[in-house]
Structure 1
Amino acid sequence: MAVVGAGVVGLCCAWLLQRKGHRVLLIDPSLAAPGLTQKHALAGGSQRSGSGAALGVLMAQVFHRSRGRAWNLRQQSLALWHSWLQELAERGQPVSRRQGLLWLAAEPEEWQRQQALVAERQQLGLALELWDRERLSTLQPALPAGAIGALHSPLDGQIDPPAAMAALLADGRDSGLTTAGQRVGAIERDGPGRWRLLLEGGEVVAGLAHVVLTAGLASPALLQSLGSSLAMEPVLGQALALRRSAPGPWTWPGVAVWRGLNLVPRPDLGAEATFWLGATLEAGSRADPDQQARLRHWGDAGLDWLEQASVVEAWQGCRARPVGRPAPLHEQLQPGLWLVSGHYRNGVLLAPASAAWVLEQIEQTTPRP
């Protein structure tokens, strides 16, 4: 079988299928470099793929719904990330994870919603809790003075997408995963129950029982020749890496969210002063400088240490959002042809659950020997 697309969703699909005994070929132009590393995954200047641009914030237990498909996928994925990262570490591919998320309330209405959400989640046995302004004032560096309170989720948090992708790829290759650093030009039928891929270099990969399409915004064009109509639109997000002028401790319990923008402390990058800010929501694929300016100041945070920080890097990437349909798309388009795409803002979070869905569907439809 083949997985087309080596973003975080494609890598999770390929890794899980290979680990469960399937022979998998992973195809993506980004794999042309000999041995994908974290540096390679971030390559491409200020414009990156959706996965390469993501901050990797995991917001599962603070999701506003407590039931339904979106809720279930988030909880499944959060649990899978926890077990997968343990497994990767045991196999010599450790990926750091920042445990915990602090969602700051900027308005009384937001604080009321948080209180209701915590009461509801505690009835489900989840360890969410409310932090008042006094408790927030003890954290370093200072949080926005306008924060009324906060919701603390100890099991949500953040993982580094490029590091996770590199670990999945390396471990997958150790398990027998094969890769091709080429672009797929077309998907065609190859006789009864089989598919073939036409690569842009002229090579043909034939006799495939299953093709898993995880190519994001490139997916619609690949499906046109098969008569499948798929509407997907880009939603651009900008992000920044900054460094504080005076290094100091981070005593926050993980990621902090203020007015919809995420601030991620990154002491694992080599300095306690380093942090990430992201991400904006911009229709289309052209970055808005005003949006970046708002991001640079973490909305209206008004923090001296933030204003004095220097920008180390700025980047952007486009997420794939389905038009008129809920994200993500998990579909069997034709026998043996699977679409796993359109994750919008939650590609990193939902990648493991998407991979688990693919594995289940393929094993249900593959005859046992």
Structure 2
Amino acid sequence: MKGLKENFQKPHILIVGAGIIGKFNALELSELGYQITIVDPTLDKNSSSAALGLLMGYMYQKRNGRSWILRKQSHELWPKWIKLLQEFNPELHIEKRLIQLTTNDVKFEKLKKFVNDNTNQGLEILEKDSIIIKNINNIFKTKNIKGVISHKDGRIDPQSLLDTLNVYLKNKKINFLKEEIIKIKRFNKQWIAASRSNNEIKTDAIILCNSLNSINLIIDKSHKIKLKPVLGQALEICTNLHEVNLLSLPKHFNINGKNIIPLTKNKIIIGSTDEYHEKPEENVFEKLTDFIENKPSWLSRERVTRKWFGIRSRPEGEPSPIQKNLENGLIICTGFYKNGFLLAPSCSHWVANELNKYFI
């Protein structure tokens, strides 16, 4: 990218998409002095608001390549951003410890080997006789659960984080537009984004963070970027059985691929599915509760008090996420699949570096 050093005003950046990636890019770029406009037809009703907020990095078993580098970098960056955002919400924090469990003996042996091969990483094997396992077995009426715990991974409440980012961005006087961008073009040294309501926004650069819709705005079709939808559903289940105390469970854990988050003594979240289309499947209860063979009486369809879904995007033919500098002043940063909350800091760091190359 060529520089715009003759422009002495702070560059104006248009971010298309107001999910976690768009807002985190706005966070870092505003700290660097850029003028920011975020545009999204829904603003706060997107896939990010349906996320569970799990941050799995050190438990990730592939310890090389781009995906591992991004995860590791994000874990290193998260404390800095949490500290900054706590000025606007002192309650915001990452709830540490993430547990991965299985009933499959072969998978458990692989998990044990991974822990033993990666010492000093905050990983610990959970055997059958541990207190954590005993509590889980008691609640779910099982006997064969075992796994590992990561003391460095965890969860951040997604809605609390998004709300805090909104407060920060408004404090920084970030411009929010509830518009749908349908076309972008480059004119001289600026970009012009046209909305469905016939408004035009002139900026120095555009960052596409609007998931599946981002590829519709790419002018040069030679980039051949492809994204497919991945719909994820989650359930909230409530039980009134006095002998069941869901708060005796870990604060967030995974059993055979299903994420479980106890909310109160009698309320729990289970998610999520991987459905490769944009309409939610109807048999979601069976799909989300198949992590154990014999379900306890409280884990029943009649106890479902809420269900929701979000549509994420996953790249086809290349790794997730897509981070590309397409042309002068046009960046795409999307296709994070399940890892938007985890990788938001490394994403915004990469985007900031690309823009700094251009403008400084």
Question: Does the alignment reach a TM-score above 0.5?
Answer: yes
Distance 2:346 2:257 in 1: 24
Aligned to 2:5: none
Deviation at 1:336, TM superposition (A): 0.8
The answer to whether residue 4 in structure 2 is matched with residue 7 in structure 1 is no
The answer to whether residue 33 in structure 2 is matched with residue 21 in structure 1 is yes
The answer to whether residue 55 in structure 2 is matched with residue 62 in structure 1 is no
The answer to whether the 8 Å contact 2:257/2:291 transfers is no
The answer to whether residue 195 in structure 2 is matched with residue 195 in structure 1 is no
Aligned to 1:155: 152
Secondary structure of 2:348's counterpart equals helix
**How many positions carry a matched residue from both structures?**
344
Aligned to 1:82: 79
AA at the equivalent of 2:21 = V
Distance 1:298 1:149, change over 3 A: closer
Aligned to 2:328: 335
RMSD: 2.1
Distance 1:27 1:347 in 2: 19
The answer to whether the 8 Å contact 2:62/2:68 transfers is yes
The answer to whether residue 135 in structure 2 is matched with residue 139 in structure 1 is yes
Deviation at 1:213, TM superposition (A): 0.6
The answer to whether the 8 Å contact 1:23/1:177 transfers is yes
AA at the equivalent of 1:337 = L
Distance 1:316 1:76 in 2: 29
* Counterpart mapping for 1:112-191 below 5 A: 112-122=109-119, 125-135=120-130, 136-139=132-135, 142-143=139-140, 145-191=142-188
Deviation at 1:128, TM superposition (A): 0.4
Distance 2:349 2:280 in 1: 34
The runs of 5 or more residues in structure 1 that have no matched partner are 32-40, 44-48
The answer to whether the 8 Å contact 1:240/1:296 transfers is no
* Counterpart mapping for 1:225-264 below 5 A: 228-246=223-241, 248=245, 250-264=247-261
The answer to whether the 8 Å contact 1:104/1:147 transfers is no
| 1:210-246 alpha-carbon deviations (Å, 9 max, x no partner) | 1111010101111147764321110111111122324
The answer to whether the 8 Å contact 1:243/1:309 transfers is no
Aligned to 1:34: none
Deviation at 1:86, TM superposition (A): 2.6
The answer to whether the 8 Å contact 2:141/2:296 transfers is yes
The answer to whether residue 284 in structure 2 is matched with residue 272 in structure 1 is no
Deviation at 1:29, TM superposition (A): 1.3
Distance 2:356 2:292 in 1: 47
Aligned to 1:35: none
AA at the equivalent of 2:116 = A
AA at the equivalent of 2:164 = A
Distance 1:69 1:218 in 2: 24
